[in-house]
Structure 1
Amino acid sequence: MDLPRSFTIRESSHRIINPLTPEKLATLGAAIRLRPGVSVVDLCCGKGEMLATWARDHGVTGTGVDISTVFLSAARERVAELGVADRVTFVHGDASTYVAAQPADVAACIGATWIGQGTAGTVTLLERSVRPGGMLLVGECFWRAEPPGQEAIEGCHARSRDDFETLPGLVRLFDGLGYDLVEMVLADEDSWDRYVAAQWMNVRTWLDAHPDDELAPEFRAELSREPLLYTAYQRRLLGWGVFALKRR
């Protein structure tokens, strides 16, 4: 059980596997008013940067779950580097089936709502691991502007207009699920650039070093295609944010 190799190549230089900069990740931790001893469960934790830095900066404890052995190895190195390995644990497994042994104060899924087949399903998964009165953190894409047609929709890696909500649509969805939206931190164009454009450098660096690898033709095509799709469609049309929710 692991992620395809292409994912780890594409994300090789990233510590944060979503379009949050380190500054925005720090803003999120401050915005939700973390304090020492708060427990956090992070489903699809990637390289564990959120748990690692929040343990260092706010004294939280946490458990991260991910399917990628490569990402988890990087996560364990990171908590050791920051001196918080005694406060953060990582579990290799399917985040869609994980339930915390002890309900946490904060349950998060930042940018991987596919595990619940969408936003609403992911909220349901997170509810299994959060204590009554606790907080959910959901990272999700949304339409910043109305896509002009199917080409633009597919250029944003969506199949249909309905794959994403608008920002007000997400707020209405959370309300319909019985949650108050109590905080949010949104990606901007610069943080999107740092996430997406860095992937192009990662891919090109890997191609230069592995021209005869079986993945080379796929990555060569990707590097010719993705910068144009991003600059033509994604950068203008697609938003992303982390939304802090509390049950009414």
Structure 2
Amino acid sequence: MDLPRSFTIRESGHRIHNPFTSEKLATLGEALSPPPGTRMLDLACGTGEMLCTWARDHQLTGTGVDISTVFLAGARARAVELSVADRVDFTHADASGHVADEPVGIAACIGATWIGGGAAGTVELLRRSLAPGGTILIGEPYWRIDPPDQTTVEACHASAKEDFLPLPELLEQFGELGCDVVEMVLADQDSWDRYAAAQWLNIRRWLDANPDDGLAPEMRAELTTGPARHTRYQREYLGWGVFALMNH
């Protein structure tokens, strides 16, 4: 049970595995201002940057769950680096079925709502771990601009236009799921660039070090086409944000 190797190669230098910068992640934490001691569950936590930095900055405690052994090793090392290893722990598991042993004040899934079959299913999954009055955090893409054709849709990692919603409709969907939207922090084109362009450098460095690896042709093809695809499609058409929700 693990992520495909191509994924961990692509994001091997990332601390945040989505189009957020460290500054945006800090902005979200400051906006929520959780009370010290708040317990957090982070499903598909990656290398644990949100949990670790918020444990440092806001004295949270909590658990991160991820399917990637490589990312979890990075998360544990980051917890030690930030001197919060006594406040957070990390579990290797399929996050799609994970429910906290005790209710938490923040239940999060940032940019991996496939674990619940989409935003609606992920909200329901996170609710199963949430304490009364707690906050759900969902990271989700949306259409910045209406995609003109199927080529654009697929270049933005969707199979159909209906896979993503425009931002107002996404916020309305959260309301239909019984949630109030109480905060949001959105990625912008610059933070998309930081996420995507850093992948190109990770891939190039890996290719230089592993020219005979069986995965090299696939990664070379991705590096050859990725920059133009990002700037032509994803950068223009696809938005992304983290939305803080509270149950009605």
Q: Which digits, 9 at most, give the CA deviation of each residue in 1:161-206, with x for residues without a partner?
A: 0010110111110010010000000001111000011000100110
TM-score, scaled to structure 2: 0.99
Count of aligned pairs: 248
AA of the residue aligned to 1:213 = D
Correspondences of 1:215-226 after superposition (within 5 Å): 215-226=215-226
1:83 aligns with 2:96: no
CA RMSD of aligned residues (A): 0.6
Following TM superposition, the consecutive aligned residue runs of length 4 or more in structure 1 with deviations greater than 6 angstroms are none
Identity between Structure 1 and Structure 2 (%): 65
Q: Which runs of 5+ in 1 are unaligned?
A: none
Correspondences of 1:221-232 after superposition (within 5 Å): 221-232=221-232
Contact 2:144 2:237 in 1 (8 A): yes
TM-score, scaled to structure 1: 0.99
What's the CA shift for 1:61? 0.4
2:9 matched residue in structure 1:
9
**SS of the residue 1:46 aligns to:** coil
1:143 matched residue in structure 2:
143
1:60 matched residue in structure 2:
60
1:212 matched residue in structure 2:
212
Correspondences of 1:169-248 after superposition (within 5 Å): 169-248=169-248
Q: Which runs of 5+ in 2 are unaligned?
A: none
Contact 2:134 2:246 in 1 (8 A): yes
Distance 2:34 2:193 in 1: 28
**SS of the residue 1:223 aligns to:** helix
**SS of the residue 2:36 aligns to:** coil
What's the CA shift for 1:34? 1.5
Contact 2:40 2:104 in 1 (8 A): yes
What's the CA shift for 1:129? 0.8
Distance 2:69 2:165 in 1: 32
Distance 1:63 1:136 in 2: 15
Contact 2:2 2:69 in 1 (8 A): yes
Q: Which digits, 9 at most, give the CA deviation of each residue in 1:85-110, with x for residues without a partner?
A: 00001000010111100010000000
Q: Which digits, 9 at most, give the CA deviation of each residue in 1:34-75, with x for residues without a partner?
A: 121011000000000000000000100010000000000000
Distance 2:34 2:128 in 1: 21
1:24 matched residue in structure 2:
24
